[in-house]
Amino acid sequence: MEQVHGCAYSAMHAAGLSRAIQSNASMLMEPVTFSESGGVRYLHFGTELIQGAMRIRDPNEIYLEYNQQMMAWLLFLETKPGMRVAQLGLGTGALTKFTHLHCPAVKSIAVELNPAVIVSARTMFSLPDDDRRLETLQADAKKFVKSPQYKSTFDAIQVDLYDAICDGPSASSLEFYKGCYKILKEPGVLTVNLFSRHKSFNINLQNICEAFDNRVLLFPESHDCNVVAIAFKGPKLEAQWKDVSVRAKLIKEKTGLPTNKWVAGIRRENARQQSQLSI
């Protein structure tokens, strides 16, 4: 996780945030704070460590590289009416906003435990209000993935769960990742943000691999020491890299995501994937 220096101010100044916190006084939550530097607004949980970011002049852009990579499920799944995506850990709402804007056929469910994060996403980071394509739930992601009502519900799940310390994902157990597997449809894709230079990385990767029968690919490490894992459920996926590249180019043209870098990075980073994608 990166640190940032700039004009910092507390989330308590965001409209309505005090009421949101007071209504959940029984829950001990981390403080939500912000900073701004170079035209970018950053989200923090009471420390200098960055939990999310937004370019103020372009609030719908996914600003951070690892956040962009968490949209990699678009490489493998065609969006279609009735499709559902779950975002576990809301942050600034960057992924949820992006899906809401660029994937009109998809319904997004964003799961966030801290009510202050939900309010700040709307008041400080331009997350739209809930509608027929967006549902925001104040809930514990660990419990959410175990709920029988969501079994085989989601086409894609994006997991970005960190606390103020940022010493690895706050949900990392084998039980949690098995829960993610159960609430995915077939075919389904999971993307997870991991912190590469920490002991939690190998623990999480091992648990993801066990839960998903070793059907896991990794992006190369980004400049801020994040590594995004991609895990698959359903029939075996086999494709020529040139076809994946065509798909990546189409996504870039339609959304602006820098997908032209993704295919080469995934191909290079993962063993036994040089000749074709086979997972």
Question: For 47-95, how does the pLDDT look when each residue is reduced to its tens digit (9 = 90+)?
Answer: 888 999 999 999 999 999 999 999 999 999 999 999 999 999 999 999 9
The whole-angstrom separation of Cα 114 and Cα 99 is 22
pTM above 0.75, yes or no: yes
The ranges assigned to domains in the chain are: 59-278
**Which of 3-12, 157-166, 192-201, 248-257 shows the lowest per-residue confidence on average (mean pLDDT)?**
3-12
User: How many Å apart are CA 92 and CA 100, to the nearest integer?
Assistant: 14
Q: What are the tens digits of pLDDT across the range 189-234?
A: 999 999 888 889 999 999 999 999 999 999 999 977 899 999 999 9
CB atoms within 10 A of CB 243: 12
Cβ-contact 6, 35 below 8 angstroms: yes
The pLDDT of residue 38: 97
What is the pLDDT at residue 8? Answer: 36
pLDDT > 50? residue 164: yes
Q: What is the pLDDT of residue 169?
A: 84
185 sits in which H/E element: strand 184-195
pLDDT tens-digit map of 103-150: 999 999 999 999 999 999 999 999 999 999 999 999 999 999 999 999
- For the segment 168-182, the average pLDDT, to the nearest whole number, is 93
Provide CB contacts within 8 A for 33, sequence distance 6+.
Answer: 8, 9, 10, 11, 43, 44, 45, 46
- CATH architecture type of domain 59-278: 3-Layer(aba) Sandwich (3.40)
**Mean pLDDT, rounded, for 164-189:** 90
Is residue 136 a contact partner of residue 112, using CB atoms and an 8 Å limit?
yes
